[in-house]
């Protein structure tokens, strides 16, 4: 079977990034935990246990009742799956005949009982398996997942399950994109795109979580016998401004690079990174064996936003980890909003919290995939402007009154956003709050719907003044004004999906 490109992606399920087999219907002959081991399976010719032949994999007993076996896997990193490898190495007369895979997107700590009630979607249909083989299956599903149900029919043994894909961070759970973060971390969505050589250590080791466990857990090139030097190119998780860079040569003692330099660039997603234009942000600098090197003052001042880094090592050798600490730019944050909306299997809740109208939500979901922030804004406005009056009123009803912070028509996330948006009114003097309450009453009596204003950054007195001015509008002018204010609120809330 030919090699498929998806194997260049990281293994989202590997135990080295926190993947775990939570449950298996049966693992009588070989333990379910073997399924996600990072090492290749091995064969021990004369090794037996008290239950039978020792096998390096997950193996159930021969099923004598209806049904089939399955295992529940929690991925180490939430992500979009590009392909899976069902490795049946050394399972020759005891491999499953077929398999299929379902997936769901829930919080990582969801219990087994709660997973029973999750919404599971098939990502790999029923597929034939070969024994003692790496069975490769490409997956085209665009959504990000946290858990899998791996079904084997009817029973048997699988040595390893590899789930290759692109990590998609849940930024709300990670502290938000307004905080400093490791822009080169694989769990945040960074990727190693290319390198000159990786004879001794794979390129993706460079951005894995934690410090390297040993020398084999880093990126290492063979000994260079000609001119030039080795290099590796990393696409950052999002466009950002860099504050400090760490290069760790942990465990590399007689084979670390003599020196290194770092170059940066701002590139499109489909750019030819090998032939790109680069500018230097760290000049050639000596390295030490088995050490963490932190660069702050050495970095070029005002290098601006970057999307990609090129680490050059002279002339060759091994680096265990690269950490790039920085802050996402506004453009980077908006790019992550697009990625989140495009990859959510169930986007209704988050879009409803942002937009308020279910007709608008359904239109946005149908418009996916969104290309970029400009496309999102254009699409959101187009859908919003074509809705009915009742749809607009539905969105207005999703907000609490100005001066209040909760609405029974909003979910918890939207109520939290409302509280932050209305900080200027909730902290206002008592007489201002009283006037706002009376103003709300008069406004609703005059226009028949809630007073809608983008309150972010406005004081209670400012909002009271706006309310007074808008009381002079005609009903038609006022609903147009309310529509525009709702659009402003929606776009701000979409940014908050990742911030």
- Is residue 180 within 8 Å of 325, Cβ to Cβ? yes
Quick one: which H or E segment has residue 358? helix 358-366
The SS3 assignment for 202 reads coil
| Residue 320: Cβ within 10 Å count | 27
Q: Cα(119)–Cα(349) distance, rounded to whole angstroms?
A: 14
CA distance 241 to 264: 11
Does this model's pTM top 0.85? My answer is: yes
Q: How far apart are CA 383 and CA 128, in angstroms?
A: 44
DSSP 8-state code for residue 89: T
Angle between helices 389-397 and 358-366 (to 10 degrees): 110
φ, ψ of residue 135 to 5 degrees: the values are -90, 115
In the chain, which residues fall in CATH 2.60.120.260? 5-167, 181-331
CATH architecture of 5-167: Sandwich (2.60)
pLDDT score of 420: 78
Q: What is the pLDDT along the chain (499 residues), one digit of tens a residue?
A: 344 589 999 999 999 999 999 999 999 999 999 999 999 999 999 999 999 999 999 999 999 999 999 999 999 999 999 999 999 999 999 999 999 999 999 999 999 999 999 999 999 999 999 999 999 999 999 999 999 999 999 999 999 999 999 999 999 888 888 899 999 999 999 999 999 999 999 999 999 999 999 999 999 999 999 999 999 999 999 999 999 999 999 999 999 999 999 999 999 988 999 999 999 999 999 999 999 999 999 999 877 899 999 999 999 999 999 999 999 999 999 999 999 999 999 999 999 999 999 999 999 999 999 999 999 999 999 999 999 999 999 999 988 888 876 656 566 666 677 777 888 787 788 899 899 999 999 999 999 999 999 988 899 999 999 999 999 999 999 999 999 999 999 999 999 899 8
For the chain, residues classed under CATH 1.10.3330.10 are 347-495
Structure tokens at 370: 């969104």
The radius of gyration of the chain's CA atoms, rounded to the nearest angstrom, is 27
Tell me the fold of 181-331.
Answer: Jelly Rolls (2.60.120)
Q: How many C-beta atoms surround the C-beta of residue 186 within 10 A?
A: 25
| Strand partners of residue 21 | 73
H-helix or E-strand spanning residue 264 = strand 259-265
**Domain at 347-495, CATH from 1.10.3330.10, 3.40.50.300, 2.40.40.20, 3.40.50.11030:** 1.10.3330.10
């Amino acid at each position: 079977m030919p090699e498929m490109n998806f194997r260049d992606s990281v293994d989202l399920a590997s135990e080295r990034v926190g993947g775990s087999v939570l449950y298996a219907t049966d693992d009588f002959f070989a333990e379910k935990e073997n399924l996600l081991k990072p090492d290749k399976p091995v064969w021990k010719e004369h090794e037996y246990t008290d239950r039978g032949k020792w096998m390096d994999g997950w193996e159930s007993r021969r099923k004598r009742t209806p049904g089939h076996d399955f295992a529940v896997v929690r991925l180490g990193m939430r992500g979009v799956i590009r392909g899976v490898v069902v490795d049946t190495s050394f399972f020759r007369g005891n491999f499953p005949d077929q398999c299929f895979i379902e997936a769901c997107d829930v919080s990582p700590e969801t219990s087994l009982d709660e997973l029973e009630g999750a919404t599971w979607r098939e990502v790999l249909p029923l597929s034939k398996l070969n024994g003692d083989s790496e069975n490769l299956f490409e997956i085209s599903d665009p959504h990000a997942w946290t858990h899998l149900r791996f079904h084997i029919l009817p029973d048997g043994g699988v040595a390893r399950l590899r789930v290759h894909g692109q990590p998609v961070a849940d930024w709300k759970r990670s502290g938000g994109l307004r905080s400093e973060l490791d822009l080169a971390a694989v769990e945040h969505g960074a990727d190693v795109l290319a390198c000159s050589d990786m004879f001794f250590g794979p390129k993706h080791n460079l951005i894995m979580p934690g410090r390297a466990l040993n020398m084999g857990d880093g990126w290492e090139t063979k000994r260079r016998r000609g001119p030039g030097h080795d290099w590796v190119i990393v696409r950052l998780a999002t466009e950002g401004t860099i504050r400090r860079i760490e290069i760790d040569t942990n465990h590399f003692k007689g084979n670390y690079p003599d020196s290194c330099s770092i170059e940066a660039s701002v590139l499109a997603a489909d750019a030819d990174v090998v032939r790109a234009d680069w500018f230097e942000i760290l000049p050639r600098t000596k390295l030490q064996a088995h050490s963490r090197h932190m660069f702050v003052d050495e970095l070029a001042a005002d290098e601006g936003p970057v999307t990609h880094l090129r680490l050059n090592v002279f002339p060759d050798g091994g680096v265990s980890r690269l950490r790039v600490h920085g802050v996402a730019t506004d453009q980077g944050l908006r790019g992550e909003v697009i990625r989140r909306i495009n990859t959510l299997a169930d986007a209704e809740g988050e879009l409803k919290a942002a937009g308020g109208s279910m007709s608008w939500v359904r239109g946005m979901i149908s418009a996916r995939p969104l290309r970029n922030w400009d496309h999102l804004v254009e699409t959101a406005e187009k859908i919003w402007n074509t809705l009915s009056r009742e749809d607009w009123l539905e969105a207005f009803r999703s907000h609490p009154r100005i001066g209040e912070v909760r609405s029974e028509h909003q979910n918890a996330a939207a109520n939290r956003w409302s509280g932050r948006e209305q900080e200027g009114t909730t902290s206002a003097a008592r007489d201002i709050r009283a006037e706002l309450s009376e103003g709300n009453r008069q406004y609703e009596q005059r226009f028949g719907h809630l007073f809608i204003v983008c309150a972010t950054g406005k004081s209670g007195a400012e909002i009271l003044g706006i309310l007074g001015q808008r009381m002079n509008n005609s009903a038609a002018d006022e609903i147009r004004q309310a529509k525009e204010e709702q659009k402003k609120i929606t776009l701000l809330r979409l940014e908050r999906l990742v911030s």
